[in-house]
């Protein structure tokens, strides 16, 4: 059992706010007390403890980290005769009489009380709080907080609590904390509990090394936690909050960077030599020159591939920026060294699109002949990408698409060929690297749309790809531009490369918000484009996050359009409820021009590439997020013809209005990503919790950018000096990182 120790709890410590509250006498503190359940507090039984559990409170220590949403300012106390018009203040007064009044205008109900002190009287008013007419009694003494209207000698009470003077001190002195509550756990009850456990803050271990705290001028954790609850002034609260926000971000960054260093140490990669004839031939055969950004990323990837540690790099770029070419470069680097490569996508529709693109881009490309790339001898393949090909290129590349449509025998045969090394590049979904799928020598894995997966899922993904003690190089790709702050958290364990410039000749998509009064004209415009030989998407929204309801919406809208606005045109439907084989057939027909108008959901938002499709019509666009709208718009403008995006919607909220205006005004995906972070916050930006990352309780990435950058720099310095966190001064930090990462950092105790 931990040994108790006696001290004067905060007496004379200079902590802000401590002088106005009890519990500063000499007490014996037992470290185990932080973990004691709330039922050890006076008056807290099982029912109250269960109600507190809904707030995430189960121990005394939990209370210390249940921070207030705001503080009621009772420092500006005034007498009635001193009040100024429009001033917000606190008044100590006595009730003389009470009445309940109903108003005709807006059906408001007013509780009015005539109150008095030694300097005068006034009328206090509460809106729609009828119960106060029965609760307030003449002669009762209160503290009221509100705004004074000198014209009517009226005090509009703004506090949501009724403060009686006998509760003075805890509830009406200084800056009074206002906490998140439940129906059974009132804010007054929480204040009382905090007053009883506040002395335990002295027991909180401080995970920030003393050198970091001193260098940045940060308070001790115990001081900061206590000040969050009971600040002496708003500036003290801001300083305490800054300290704790830095702690959150610092812990996350140290954990991610230490994890990366650990994986680099324990995982052995497939070290690849310099670029050879195959990649050179591929680059020379391209009908365009790589953009400066593409060239820069290829150099970064090339440096990674030559290292003994496996590459873990995220490639982000706007829709149409040319990420696929870079991915092909990385895969060919593996193939020419006698290794295999894999490209995986989250859906089979996108996987098949990648397969067709690879077939087109690698037509006639040959593998290195023995000795050219310094890898294993080349093999003749039974099924090349294309028969024939360029001269003197050696044996043809072999691509394989692991489709769910394969029959059992076909699948088994293909898996056997992959395991034997007879396939150079395999394409499919994440099933490619699950149990039962083997590779002869897997060198590079490309994972598209990686933002759909969290930290621990990335680790599992790479772990499953490991064969014979070698971990392949992994290139994660996303077409959803990520603000730098979010990249340092969601992908803080990866190196990040960015393609910002667009390939020459890529036309911006003309985007308009379209009101209902212009709908008929919009349909005429679309029909004109169809008559020119172009194609169109009509996207219906996800309704109540239900694929079933979305499917119904697509089917009913397609039936209506076929009978009305697009009568005589060839329509098709595509949604998530269709069988995979039917989805593939529909996309093939649309790509070939057999379908002119595709009525669909957001299933087309990722990876669908039909250059002849030039119009994207989005119904109820105000239901979609910024990233979704930008992704959908990216499905057009991929060919030589001018393209258009029509946003139909009637935004009822300010965020929805801002989203539509932003998409209509700019095609810069990175600018839209920053705005999306500002509007929605990091917690909702991707729609799924990033498994393996600790929650941010105080930090807001859209607000706390500079603190995040500071935390990253400090974490990088610390991990560079002590990658295993084994130094004595980092012992508490090590334990705290294990705790906040929820068990996903157990390797820290195995080094």
Question: What is the phi-psi region of residue 421: left when phi exceeds 0, alpha when psi lies from -120 to 50, beta otherwise?
Answer: left
In 311-373, which ranges are E strands? 312-317, 340-344
CA neighbor of 204 nearest in space, from 188, 219, 187: 219
In order, the DSSP letters of 725-748 are --SGGGHHHHHHHHHHTTTTTGGG
Residue 236 neighbours by CB under 8 Å, 6+ apart:
16, 17, 227
Residue 676 neighbours by CB under 8 Å, 6+ apart:
625, 626, 627, 659, 685
Q: What is the pLDDT of residue 513?
A: 93
d(CA 746, CA 751): 10
Q: What is the pLDDT of residue 159?
A: 65
Domains defined along the chain, listed by start: 1-71+180-204 (no CATH), 76-173 (2.40.50.140), 510-666 (3.40.50.300)
H/E stretch holding 561: helix 547-563
Query: What distances in angstroms separate CA 651 from CA 30, 95, 619, 626, 647, one per listed residue?
Result: 56, 47, 12, 13, 11
Helix (H, G, I), strand (E, B) or coil at 131: coil
Query: What distances in angstroms separate CA 422 from CA 68, 175, 440, 547, one per listed residue?
Result: 62, 72, 9, 39
- Which tokens go with 343? 């490209």
pLDDT in tens, 478-518: 877 777 777 777 777 788 899 988 877 677 899 999 989 99
Q: What is the pLDDT of residue 745?
A: 62
How crowded is residue 649: how many other Cβ atoms within 10 Å of its Cβ?
A: 22
How crowded is residue 566: how many other Cβ atoms within 10 Å of its Cβ?
A: 21
In order, the DSSP letters of 265-304 are HH-EE----S--HHHHHHHHHSSSPPPHHHHHHHHHHHHH
Helix (H, G, I), strand (E, B) or coil at 311: coil
Q: What is the pLDDT of residue 465?
A: 64
H/E stretch holding 111: strand 109-117
Contacts for 651-659: CB closer than 8 Å, 24+ residues apart: 651/622, 652/622, 655/679, 655/680, 656/622, 657/622, 659/622, 659/624, 659/625, 659/626, 659/629
Stretches where the chain sits below pLDDT 70 are: 1-29, 104-106, 159-170, 172, 364-395, 435, 450-468, 505, 542-552, 605-607, 680-694, 743-751
Q: What is the pLDDT of residue 16?
A: 39
pLDDT in tens, 172-211: 677 889 898 888 898 889 998 998 999 999 999 999 999 9
How crowded is residue 484: how many other Cβ atoms within 10 Å of its Cβ?
A: 16
Q: What is the pLDDT of residue 142?
A: 86
Q: What is the pLDDT of residue 378?
A: 32
- pTM for the complete prediction? 0.68
Dihedral (CA of 616, 622, 624, 629) sign: positive
């Amino acid at each position: 059992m931990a040994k108790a120790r006696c001290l004067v709890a905060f007496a004379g410590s200079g902590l802000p706010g401590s002088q106005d509250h009890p519990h500063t006498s000499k007490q014996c503190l037992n470290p185990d007390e932080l973990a004691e359940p709330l039922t050890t507090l006076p008056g807290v039984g099982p029912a109250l403890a269960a109600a507190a559990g809904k707030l995430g409170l189960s121990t005394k220590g939990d209370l210390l980290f249940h921070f207030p949403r705001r503080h009621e300012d009772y420092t500006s106390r005034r007498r009635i005769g001193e009040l100024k018009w429009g001033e917000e203040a606190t008044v100590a007064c006595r009730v003389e009489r009470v009445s309940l009044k109903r108003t005709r205008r807006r059906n408001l109900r007013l509780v009015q009380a005539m109150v008095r002190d030694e300097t005068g009287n006034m009328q206090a008013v509460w809106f729609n709080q009828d119960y106060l007419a029965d609760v307030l009694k003449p002669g009762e003494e209160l503290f009221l907080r509100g705004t004074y209207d000198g014209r009517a000698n009226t005090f509009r009470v703004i506090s949501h609590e009724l403060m009686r003077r006998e509760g003075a001190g805890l509830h009406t002195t200084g800056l009074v904390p206002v906490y998140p509550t439940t129906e059974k756990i009132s804010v007054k009850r929480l204040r009382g509990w905090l007053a009883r456990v506040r002395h335990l803050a002295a027991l909180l271990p401080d995970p920030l090394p003393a050198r970091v705290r001193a260098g940045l001028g940060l308070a001790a954790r115990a001081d900061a936690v206590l000040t969050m609850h009971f600040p002496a002034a708003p500036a003290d609260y801001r300083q305490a909050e800054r300290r704790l926000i830095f702690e959150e971000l610092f812990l996350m960054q140290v954990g991610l960077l230490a994890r990366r260093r650990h994986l680099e140490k324990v995982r052995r990669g497939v070290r690849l030599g310099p670029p050879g004839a195959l990649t050179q031939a591929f680059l020379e055969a391209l009908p365009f020159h790589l953009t400066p950004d593409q060239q820069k990323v290829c150099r970064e990837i090339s440096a990674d591939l030559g290292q003994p540690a496996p590459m873990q790099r995220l490639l982000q770029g706007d829709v149409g920026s040319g990420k696929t070419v870079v991915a092909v470069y990385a895969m060919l680097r593996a193939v020419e060294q006698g290794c295999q490569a894999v490209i995986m996508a989250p859906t089979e529709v996108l996987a098949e699109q990648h397969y067709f693109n690879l077939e087109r881009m690698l037509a006639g490309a040959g593998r290195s002949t023995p000795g050219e790339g310094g890898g294993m001898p080349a093999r003749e393949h039974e099924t090349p990408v294309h028969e024939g090909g360029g001269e003197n290129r050696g044996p043809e590349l072999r691509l394989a698409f692991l489709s769910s449509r394969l029959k059992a025998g076909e699948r088994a045969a293909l898996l056997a060929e992959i395991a034997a090394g007879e396939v150079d590049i395999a394409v499919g979904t994440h099933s490619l690297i699950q149990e039962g799928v083997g590779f002869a020598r897997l060198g590079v894995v490309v994972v598209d749309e990686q933002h759909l997966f969290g930290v621990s899922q990335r680790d599992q993904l790479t772990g499953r790809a490991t064969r014979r003690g070698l971990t392949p190089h992994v290139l994660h790709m996303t077409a959803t531009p990520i603000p730098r702050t979010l990249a340092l958290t969601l992908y803080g364990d990866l190196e990040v490369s960015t393609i910002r410039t667009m390939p020459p000749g890529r036309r911006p998509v003309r985007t308009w918000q379209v009101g209902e009064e212009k709908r008929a004209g919009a349909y005429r415009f679309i029909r004109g484009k169809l008559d020119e030989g172009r194609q169109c998407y009509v996207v219906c929204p996800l309704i109540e996050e239900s694929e079933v309801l979305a499917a119904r919406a697509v089917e009913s809208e397609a039936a209506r359009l076929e009978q009305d606005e697009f009568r005589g045109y060839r329509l098709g439907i595509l949604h998530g409820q269709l069988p995979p084989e039917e989805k593939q057939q529909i996309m093939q027909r649309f790509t070939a021009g057999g379908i002119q108008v595709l009525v669909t959901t957001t299933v087309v938002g990722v990876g669908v590439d039909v250059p002849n499709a030039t119009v994207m019509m989005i119904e109820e666009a105000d239901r979609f997020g910024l990233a979704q709208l930008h992704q959908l718009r990216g499905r057009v403008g991929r060919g030589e013809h001018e393209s258009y995006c029509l946003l139909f919607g009637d935004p009822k909220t300010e965020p929805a209005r801002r989203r539509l205006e932003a998409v209509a005004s700019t095609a810069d995906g990175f600018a839209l990503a920053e705005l999306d972070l500002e509007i929605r916050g990091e917690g909702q930006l991707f729609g799924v919790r990033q498994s393996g990352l600790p929650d941010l309780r105080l930090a807001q990435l859209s607000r706390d950018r500079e603190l995040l950058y500071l935390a990253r720099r400090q974490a990088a310095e610390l991990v560079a000096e002590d990658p295993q966190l084994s130094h004595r001064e980092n012992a508490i930090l090590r334990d705290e990182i294990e705790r906040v990462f929820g068990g996903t950092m157990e390797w820290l105790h195995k080094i």
